[in-house]
């Protein structure tokens, strides 16, 4: 039995990593953040050139027809580069929603256009994870009414997949009457998040069982956020080790001091097992759907805790320099913080895992 990535997945990882190394150096990330843009045209064009807009679109609709594990491989590289490029909602969750719940006509209308990048989707499903400040979306005869918080890949989306309070998914034109868009500012300047305020906005329900599909989207989103955190954490460890091998104090590089060695070793020891956990969760999404929800909870909660430790410790290894903008560590630090909280923080997700295993009573 093979417990590693396939040769094709290794090639995908190398291709995406090389593409991002060429198009998304830290100076470019900083320039995008300073300009208030969470989407780099240069990076998005490069990723489109290698087919990532159609990654999850079936081959019959003009896409690559790949699996969630393939998407996790890509997400890991995006996190590693802190790339300001919409991917989670636009290239994964939106086409997945249409595949899971769309009618043949809806799939034929939208999936080929997603694959070519002709349409840009955001996804608003945070309401099925938890309700904040009474924000929820109701499907009424006049259309969708209410508030959808934390819509992902928000900034330049022209359509949204929105989950209502029952979990059913709807396809919403961002320019429809009754749609008010409000950008939300989070700690992560490389991600675009927003709020949709809806007042009778016309929307098209997806034909399938939206409740099941929405939960599948939640699981897929959690796995990819864990994969993104995995890449960001690996980058922070590498930067900490490299700095420890260069920075001198008392006539020696600080990496020669036992305390610093222990910090670096502890980061690596906690980080490395996360890789197998994330990969298996992504594999289970397609190959063992009965395990997918539980594995998504484990991957999301565990990587969230581990990489918070990694982010803090890597910054401490850099000393005072770690807190400056010069080294840019804060981009990875904040990306990890975003990944940890979106679609459920570790405490909430662990509680869901306990419910799935029958260890606590369900609250739903």
What pLDDT digit, counting tens, does each position of 268-296 carry? 999 999 999 999 999 999 999 999 999 99
At residue 362 the predicted structure's pLDDT band, cuts being 50, 70 and 90, is: low
| Percent over 90 (pLDDT), the chain | 87
Predicted confidence at residue 248, as pLDDT, reads: 77
Predicted confidence at residue 341, as pLDDT, reads: 95
3-state SS, residue 33: helix
Predicted confidence at residue 90, as pLDDT, reads: 97
Average pLDDT over residues 156-172: 95
Range of lowest pLDDT (97-111, 191-205, 206-220): 206-220
Looking at mean pLDDT, say which of 141-145, 242-246, 336-340, 355-359 comes out highest: 336-340
Predicted confidence at residue 2, as pLDDT, reads: 65
Backbone angles phi, psi at 299, to 5 degrees: -65, -45
Among 296, 304, 297, 280, CA closest to 350: 297
Q: Cβ distance 153 to 193 under 8 Å?
A: no
Q: What span, in angstroms and rounded, lies between the C-alpha atoms of 223 and 297?
A: 8
Helices (H) and strands (E) in the chain, counts: 11, 10
| For residue 364, pLDDT beyond 60 | no
Average pLDDT over residues 144-160: 95
Predicted confidence at residue 324, as pLDDT, reads: 85
| For residue 65, pLDDT beyond 90 | yes
| For residue 209, pLDDT beyond 80 | no
Q: What span, in angstroms and rounded, lies between the C-alpha atoms of 279 and 226?
A: 10
Average pLDDT over residues 293-312: 97
Which domains, ranges and CATH numbers included, belong to the chain?
Answer: 7-116 (1.10.540.10), 121-208 (2.40.110.10), 211-356 (1.20.140.10)
Predicted confidence at residue 4, as pLDDT, reads: 82
**DSSP 8-state secondary structure symbol assigned to residue 320:** G
Q: Taking the model in full, what pTM does it have?
A: 0.95
**DSSP 8-state secondary structure symbol assigned to residue 131:** -
Q: Which residues does 120 contact at the CB level (< 8 Å), separation at least 6?
A: 86, 90, 153, 156, 157, 158, 159
At residue 321 the predicted structure's pLDDT band, cuts being 50, 70 and 90, is: confident
Average pLDDT of the chain is 94
Predicted confidence at residue 329, as pLDDT, reads: 95
3-state SS, residue 3: coil
Q: Cβ distance 169 to 97 under 8 Å?
A: yes
């Amino acid at each position: 039995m093979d417990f590693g990535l396939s040769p094709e997945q290794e090639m995908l990882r190398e291709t995406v990593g090389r593409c991002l190394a060429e198009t998304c150096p830290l100076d470019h990330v900083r320039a995008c953040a300073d300009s208030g843009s969470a989407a780099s045209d240069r990076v998005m064009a490069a990723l489109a050139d290698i087919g990532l807009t159609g990654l999850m679109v079936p081959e019959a609709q003009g896409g690559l027809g790949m699996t969630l594990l393939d998407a996790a491989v890509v997400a890991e590289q995006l996190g590693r580069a802190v790339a300001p490029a919409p991917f989670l909602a636009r290239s994964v969750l939106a086409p997945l929603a249409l595949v899971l719940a769309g009618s043949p006509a809806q799939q034929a209308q939208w999936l080929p256009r997603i694959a070519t990048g002709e349409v840009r989707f955001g996804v608003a499903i945070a309401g099925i994870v938890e309700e904040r400040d009474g924000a929820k979306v109701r499907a009424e005869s006049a259309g969708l009414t209410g508030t959808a918080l934390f819509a992902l890949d928000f900034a330049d989306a022209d359509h949204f997949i929105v989950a209502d309070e029952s979990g059913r998914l709807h396809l919403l034109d961002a320019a429809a009457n009754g749609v008010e868009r409000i950008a939300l500012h989070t700690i992560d300047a490389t991600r675009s998040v927003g709020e949709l305020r809806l007042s009778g906005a016309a929307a098209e329900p997806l034909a399938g069982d939206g409740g099941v599909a929405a939960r599948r989207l939640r699981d897929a989103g959690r796995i990819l956020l864990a994969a993104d955190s995995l890449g960001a954490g690996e980058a922070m460890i590498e930067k900490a080790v490299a700095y420890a091998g260069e920075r001198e104090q008392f006539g020696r590089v600080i990496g020669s001091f036992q305390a610093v060695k222990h910090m670096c070793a502890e980061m690596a020891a906690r980080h490395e097992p996360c890789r197998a956990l994330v990969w298996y969760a992504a594999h289970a999404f397609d190959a063992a759907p009965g395990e997918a929800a539980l594995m998504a909870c484990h991957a999301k909660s565990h990587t969230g805790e581990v990489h918070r430790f990694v982010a803090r410790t890597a910054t401490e290894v850099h000393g005072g320099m770690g807190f400056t903008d010069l080294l840019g560590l804060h981009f990875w630090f904040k990306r990890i913080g975003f990944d940890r909280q979106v679609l459920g923080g570790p405490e909430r997700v662990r509680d869901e895992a306990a419910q799935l295993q029958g260890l606590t009573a369900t609250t739903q």
